[in-house]
Amino acid sequence: MLKVIDVEWTGDQKLELAFNDGYQGLADLSLYFSKAPFAEILDFKKFSLTAEGSLNWSGNELSAATLRALTQGEHKTAETSVDLKEMETVIKQASWDSMQEGRPDILQAAVRSYVEQFGHSQVIAKAGIKSRTSAYRSLKPETTPNFATLVQLGHAVIELAKDRIKQVS
């Protein structure tokens, strides 16, 4: 499923977008924001990136597919090498911070960013999690995740990174 994974406002009604398939570019949304319901939005910069990878302005949403069609850019080749040490360090630190502060959302955010790189299906399969629904729910920002599930997912992304390194070598 296509998702916007990073967005940056560049001025006027233009956004720099990155998609989970490696496509990056500039989207000029002025045509959309000249018509209802978007024309009624007073502050273009007040948008959110949804868990589904679309953009939302106070209930008015543009899907990743729609945004992709409007984006002028190119595929950026992902680095074939994964910085395994950095990944391990980030996940370890997020785990520690989560336990210290009693906030599983810290680990959730770190794991979610790596899951996006490898794809949910691949990570869930590698983690051996039977309930896909539970795994997806554990990664949604608005939920209180199961810490054990996050640990499984974190371990899975590290193993997938190791597998990718082996393939490149």
Structural domains of the chain in order of their starting residue, each with its CATH number: 4-75 (3.30.2020), 84-168 (no CATH)
Q: What is the pLDDT of residues 85-129, one digit of tens each?
A: 889 999 999 899 999 988 888 899 889 888 877 778 788 889 998
139-163 average pLDDT score: 89
Which H helix or E strand runs over 61?
Answer: strand 60-62
Query: What burial letters (b/e) apply to 33-71, b meaning 16+ CB within 10 Å?
Result: beeeebeebeebeebebbeebbbebeeeebbbeebbebb
Which residue has better confidence, 123 or 51? 123
pLDDT per residue as tens digits for the range 53-73: 899 998 999 999 999 999 998
pLDDT at position 168 is 64
Is the pLDDT at 26 greater than 90, yes or no?
yes
Contacts 24+ apart (CB under 8 A), 79-83: 80/164, 80/168, 81/164, 81/165, 81/168, 82/161, 82/164, 82/165
